[in-house]
Amino acid sequence: MFVKDYIGYYINNNKKDNMTKTQYPTKYQITKLEQRVDEELDPIIDMAELELKAVLTDETENAMTYLSKKIKADKVINNLQKAIETLEVAQRQAVTFFGKIKDSNLKEKLNYKFRNKKDQDNYYRSDNYGRGITPEDCRDQLREFAEFIAQQKVENKPEGKKLKELKLYKKASKHKIWECGVPDQLQAQLTEILAGVNIIWDKSKQLRLQNKQYN
């Protein structure tokens, strides 16, 4: 009697365990479902990002023009450009002056910057670190400010809202995969979520709809 009771207990427990195991998708199923969500949403997200990038480029240029006048950066950059051009003229004059030294003994002591034409040209044109802040540095900084302002602005434009919404749909779909324990319910919930972005999760249903259109 004891043995029969034990066998019955063992069988019932195994049944419960098996029922419990079937409640949750396997790791492989979860991975495949995540990949499927990526395949469905990533192309739409990529397209939305391209659309937003075009808007961001225009807004950045507008912000640069606005900032340049608003904070008077254009005057600072122009003054710096003129100062550098004046400096370069003075540098060339110094190179010419010391480079014409006649005394051979003194000429041997001449610094490399004054020795040949190639070194002279490189001295003014390519040694940006030695010259300190350049107009291009100022323009780069202005662009960085402009991009920050433009980014905030485009987030509230239709293209920005669309991209944000698509990313939220993707996030919601992934969370549902991780949270839902019953595979059948999960399919229904993913179908409901992704319908919001006109994605038909059930491909057999999509095929039936396409065939209906052709007939």
The per-residue pLDDT for 11 is 47
Q: In which domain, by residue range, is 40 found?
A: 28-206
Q: What is the pLDDT of residues 24-68, one digit of tens each?
A: 678 888 888 889 999 999 999 999 999 999 999 999 999 999 999
Q: Chunked in runs of 10, what are the mean pLDDT values of the chain (215 residues)?
A: 45 50 72 90 94 94 92 93 90 83 78 66 51 85 94 92 93 86 77 86 59 52
Assigned domain for 215 exists: no
Assigned domain for 188 exists: yes
Assigned domain for 2 exists: no
The per-residue pLDDT for 206 is 53
Percentages of the chain per state (helix, strand, coil), in multiples of 5: 85, 0, 15
Assigned domain for 134 exists: yes
Residues 6+ apart with CB under 8 A from 40: 194, 199, 201
Cβ neighbours of 99 (radius 10 Å): 15
Assigned domain for 22 exists: no
Assigned domain for 10 exists: no
Assigned domain for 140 exists: yes
The per-residue pLDDT for 93 is 86
Helices and strands, number each (H, E), in the chain: 10, 0
Q: What is the pLDDT of residues 70-88, one digit of tens each?
A: 999 999 999 999 998 898 8
What is the number of structural domains in the chain? 1
Residue closest to 110 by CA, chosen among 134, 132, 94, 86:
94
The whole model's pTM is what? Answer: 0.60
Assigned domain for 135 exists: yes
Residues 6+ apart with CB under 8 A from 110: 98, 99, 101
